[in-house]
Amino acid sequence: MKTLTKTDFNFPGQQEVYHGKVRDVYGLEDNKIIIISTDRLSAFDVIMPKGIPYKGQILNQIATKMLKSTEDIVPNWLEETPDPNVAIGKKCTPFKVEMVIRGYLTGHAWREYNTGKRELCGINLPENMIEHQKSEKPIITPSTKADQGDHDEDISREEILKQGIVSEEDYKKLEEYTYKLFERGTEIAAKQGLILVDTKYEFGKTAEGEIVLIDEIHTPDSSRYFYADGYEERQEKGENQKQLSKEFVRQWLISQGFQGKEGQEIPEMSEEYIKTVSERYIELYENITGENFVKSDTENIEKRIEENVKKYLLR
């Protein structure tokens, strides 16, 4: 199965390009950007050597659906999706923080808690919590947006304001939007029999100074879901929760002795394992959206993308 792991386009009006961990961003004239969701897989802020078939299409299509389902409460950057892997919209100046919001003690938060820490991003956590336990109310645990290749770092609200990373006025708006988005995402998930456990949102400012939602939302790369059915029973029995996220990839890597730390080697992913990861992403898509996944033509992904984008730009 063919995958899209790198891009090198030259679109009409192109001025710059940035290659992120998973997405490639092409800046155009008139404050427009093209975001191409590749099939690259990132875990522990490290890009894996091999791509995952259809992953880019899945992330792009979930994000598009979720952006459209939240645009009544938060303005966003998206204008058009001319290709299964492509989104086009407003160029924004990103805030240098990611707004991570957590409704349950899971993943990174649990790993920190399990080492004995009882404070996360300036927020005190109760004693005697167990893994996957629901919090009394969702908490925002921001992280600084790292430069390419570096790890994102936890940071408190107080430190963000103290360092002047975001103004207090803007940060209050980011918090307000984050809570509203998480509430909407929780409602959408519940209709699919899912629990939105935690997620992250990124925001930016348009050329006109408006704060808007950017990047992806509520995808399995940016969010974690549990199956609602059986959640309480599994908690009572101390069993692992059934998850919909890329946590299964992280857990596999951990089992292979890799957590992105210095000196650790990325384990080999066999073609068979990559196929299972692709199948899991398709399962994620269908469970999150409630729709059947339709595979796009991957015979020549680069040519398909170039033709679709140029057709849109030159219309």
Q: Are residues 149 and 164 located together in one domain of the fold? A: yes
pLDDT at residue 76 in the model: 97
Same domain, 186 and 284: no
pTM of the model: 0.89
Residue 87 located in a structural domain: yes
42 is in which domain, residue-wise? 14-91+272-313
The answer to whether the CB of 246 falls within 8 A of the CB of 108 is no
pLDDT score for 267:
93
Q: Are 48 and 145 found together in one domain? A: no
pLDDT tens for the 315 residues of the chain, in order: 799 999 999 999 999 999 998 999 999 999 999 999 999 999 888 999 999 999 999 999 999 999 999 999 999 999 999 999 999 999 999 999 999 999 999 989 999 999 999 999 999 999 999 999 999 999 999 999 765 445 679 999 999 999 999 999 999 999 999 999 999 999 999 999 999 999 999 999 999 999 999 989 999 888 999 999 999 999 999 999 988 878 788 889 999 999 999 999 999 999 999 999 999 899 989 999 999 999 999 999 999 999 999 999 998
- 5 lies in a domain? no
How many angstroms separate the CA atoms of 107 and 195, rounded? 15
- Specify the number of domains making up the chain: 2
Based on the fold, state whether residues 233 and 140 are members of the same structural domain. yes
Judgement on whether residues 87 and 99 belong to the same structural domain of the protein = no
Note the pLDDT of residue 151.
62
Residue 149, pLDDT score: 47
User: Do the domain assignments include residue 282?
Assistant: yes
Same domain, 87 and 126: no
On whether residue 300 sits in a domain, the answer given is yes
Q: For residue 6, is it within any domain?
A: no
Answer yes or no: is 264 within a domain: no
Task: Judge whether 84 lies within some domain.
Answer: yes
For residues 234 and 283, membership in a common domain is answered with no
Q: Do 233 and 283 have their domain in common?
A: no
- The DSSP line for the chain is -----------TTEEEEEE-SSEEEEEETTTEEEEEE-S--EETTEE-SS--TTHHHHHHHHHHHHHHTTTTTS-BSEEEEEETTEEEEE--EE-SEEEEEEEES-HHHHHHHHTT--EETTEE--TT--TTPEEEEEEE--EEPPPTTSPPEE--HHHHHHHTSS-HHHHHHHHHHHHHHHHHHHHHHHHTTEEEEEEEEEEEE-TT--EEEES--SSTTTEEEEESTTHHHHHHHTPPPPEESTHHHHHHHHHTT-SS-TTPPPPP--HHHHHHHHHHHHHHHHHHHSS---PPP-TTHHHHHHHHHHHHHT-
Kindly state whether residues 65 and 187 are assigned to the same domain.
no
Residue 23, in any domain of the structure: yes
What CATH number is given to the structural domain containing 132? 3.30.470.20
209 and 281 belong to one structural domain: no
151, 124: one domain: yes
Q: Which of 229, 244, 259 is the last residue of a domain?
A: 244
Place of tokens 């066999």: 270
